[in-house]
Amino acid sequence: MKLHLCLASLTVGLLVSMQANAQSEPSKKTEADCYARQSALEKDMRDARSRGQMLRRRQLQESLDALRARCDEIASKDTHEARVMRQKNVIMQLQLDLANAEEELRRIVSEKKK
């Protein structure tokens, strides 16, 4: 029975870890894309300013402000998802600990009967 519990906990651990990795990879890419786009817009703004293109610079600033708002939303969403995932992991670990404790209790009770 202990082997069964060990295999179950290993399987759950692997599944949780794979799910966390699969979810975190796209979010990292999204955040990286946001920062890359912000840098590009900031560079374009500097170029527009140096050429005296104030209207273009203002338009770029508006685009940058909107992009920053979206990036902040993505970052906060990722943080929320990460917190949810961590709490799910805590719960699963507690459930595994409880199952192990119950198995240990059954083993101890069965020893007394012998």
Determine the pLDDT at residue 71: 83
Comparing 2-6, 26-30, 86-90, 99-103, the range with the smallest average pLDDT is 2-6
Q: Could you count the other beta carbons within 10 Å of the beta carbon of residue 45?
A: 19
d(CA 23, CA 17): 10
38 CB-side CA count, 13 A: 14
d(CA 112, CA 62): 76
Grade residue 24 by pLDDT with cuts at 50, 70 and 90.
Answer: very low
Locus of tokens 């374009």: 44
The stretch 17-34 carries a mean pLDDT of 58
Locus of tokens 């527009």: 48
Mean pLDDT of the chain: 78
Determine the pLDDT at residue 38: 87
**Buried-exposed string 72-105: b where 16+ CB fall within 10 A, e elsewhere:** eeeeeebeeeeeeeeeebeeeeeebeeeeeeeee
Determine the pLDDT at residue 81: 81
- Give 92's contacts (C-beta < 8 A, 6+ positions apart): 12, 16
Question: CA-based diameter of the chain, in Å?
Answer: 92
Domain boundaries, the chain: 2-101
Summarised one tens digit per residue, pLDDT across range 46-99 is: 999 889 999 999 999 999 899 888 888 877 776 788 788 888 988 999 999 999
Determine the pLDDT at residue 25: 46
Determine the pLDDT at residue 13: 54
Grade residue 15 by pLDDT with cuts at 50, 70 and 90.
Answer: low
